[in-house]
Structure 1
Amino acid sequence: MGVAIPFSEALRERANEERNGIGANGRSASERFMTSLLTGPGSREDYIAMVAQNFFVYDALERAAAARADDPVASLFIEPALTRIPAIREDLRFLLGEDWREIIVPLPTTTRYVERIDTVAATTAGGFIAHHYTRYLGDLSGCAIVRTLMQRRFGFETNGVGFYLFAGIAKPKEFKSTYRAQLDRVGWSEEERGRVLDEVALAYRLTEELFADLAASCATRAA
């Protein structure tokens, strides 16, 4: 019998399996889109389109977090310093103007993503954590570098890139280590572990589908 690996490592491996299975030519849709934004030929309008879709996803996540604030398991992972919606609102106000909320519209894949978050977060703490883990730990990976490159490419200062500024998290690497250690300390049953692993895989696929849809929408607009 093999030695059981920590749950956080199992989650990381499952996400890597999805990444390897989805990526075209070794690169996922999210990687291709972000590379285009950071180094060209992606445009400022493409960046705004991404921020707009982020609003809908993080609004769903943070509504779910508020609903689960008293949950004994979910509450272990809900950290105010991770909250992104206030920053996204300010970014969109800067990028689109005061009437930004009347301008932005979710893409079809974004709508499916939001519906999945709403459904699973209302059902299980583990399902909520799967989406929370996939998004926020991904955000913390390289957020400072992404912010700096966006500032250089599009001439932003702080306005417009607030999403990538985690002012309350001084050491993202340590924060992620603590988060993963907490994942390992939760007394998951085997059934719960399986559900969370499956939901992390689904969250990754939904993210990739969103970026593919976003890229197609941006290409259509530019044509």
Structure 2
Amino acid sequence: MSDTFSARLRAASWQDHQAAESQRYVSALVAGELPRQRYADLVAQHYFIYQVLEEAADAMRDDPLAGGFVDDRLTRLPALEADLAYLLGPDWAGRIAPNLATRRYVARMQEVCFTFAPAFIAHHYTRYLGDLSGGLFIGRQVAQTYELTEEGGVAFYHFAGIDDPRGYKNAYRARLDALPLDVTAEAALVGEVAVAYRHNSAVLAELGQEQEPKPVAPESMESAA
């Protein structure tokens, strides 16, 4: 097994990664068990998350550690805006709001990603490498299930400037391996990846809870009888 930093990071975050991917909401979405509006709910939460992450990328563009990871080919916000316009209509901005888990996720990124390079890299890694891995599969499945296209509803999952996702991810991991991190900074980055995955899982869990039927109070049942 490789002893590179990227390999250690992947191993350390594997369980958190699996926990996020195994959320009931994700499996139901991929299986086509949810109405299309529930997919639009995910797009809306992504919009708020990437809005902050990409503001942080602009702020960290010249940072000696973080700047090498900022790549405009990864930018997702315009695609998310196009997807929301397609799914919800031209008034989409007034029809979406972050759920509680998303607000907490965004608050964490606002706290750490604009000034601390290891934390920014951790959130950047968690989101974009995920987008270029399992995210591509989810995009294909959602497009097929809900009859969406790159031009209509799933632009988020298409990286026009990246023809070889595998090669891009390999190059990204090489940049991680080349980071001149001391023990403290490395531990901070690994720890923040775990934080990012937990926030992502919480967002998906809350979306999943929104799909569950609401329990009927006893008095409501009596009045309906």
TM over 0.5: yes
Is the Cα contact below 8 Å between 1:143 and 1:165 reproduced in 2?
no
1:45-56 equivalent positions in 2, closer than 5 A: 45-56=37-48
Supply the distance in 1 between the matched residues of 2:15 and 2:9 (Cα, whole angstroms): 10
**Aligned match of 2:104:** 112
Q: Which amino acid counterpart does residue 14 of structure 2 have in structure 1?
A: N
Superposed CA RMSD? 1.9
**Aligned match of 1:64:** 56
Q: What percent of counterpart residues are identical?
A: 40
Give the alignment partner of residue 186 of structure 2, picking from 185, 193, 202: 193
Task: Write out the 4+ residue segments of structure 1 that deviate beyond 6 Å after TM superposition.
Answer: none
Give the alignment partner of residue 164 of structure 1, picking from 142, 147, 157: 157
**Aligned match of 2:128:** 136
Taking structure 2 as the reference length, the TM-score comes to: 0.89
**Aligned match of 1:213:** 206
| TM-fit CA distance, 1:67 | 0.7
Query: Is the radius of gyration larger for structure 1 or structure 2?
Result: 2
Is the Cα contact below 8 Å between 2:26 and 2:204 reproduced in 1?
no
Q: Which amino acid counterpart does residue 101 of structure 2 have in structure 1?
A: T
| TM-fit CA distance, 1:15 | 1.2
| TM-fit CA distance, 1:157 | 2.3
Give the alignment partner of residue 4 of structure 2, picking from 3, 6, 11: 6
Q: Which amino acid counterpart does residue 179 of structure 2 have in structure 1?
A: V
Is the Cα contact below 8 Å between 1:140 and 1:172 reproduced in 2?
yes
Is the Cα contact below 8 Å between 1:52 and 1:104 reproduced in 2?
yes
Supply the distance in 2 between the matched residues of 1:175 and 1:220 (Cα, whole angstroms): 42
Supply the distance in 1 between the matched residues of 2:27 and 2:37 (Cα, whole angstroms): 15
Q: Secondary structure at the match of 1:219?
A: coil
Supply the distance in 2 between the matched residues of 1:119 and 1:137 (Cα, whole angstroms): 22
Supply the distance in 1 between the matched residues of 2:213 and 2:44 (Cα, whole angstroms): 17
User: Residues 137-176 of structure 1, C-alpha deviation per residue, up to 9 Å, x if partnerless?
Assistant: 0000144433332222111122100000011000000000
Q: Which amino acid counterpart does residue 13 of structure 1 have in structure 2?
A: A
Taking structure 1 as the reference length, the TM-score comes to: 0.90
Supply the distance in 2 between the matched residues of 1:46 and 1:7 (Cα, whole angstroms): 37
* Pair 142,129 (structure 1): closer, same or farther in 2 beyond 3 Å: same
Give the alignment partner of residue 177 of structure 2, picking from 179, 184, 209: 184
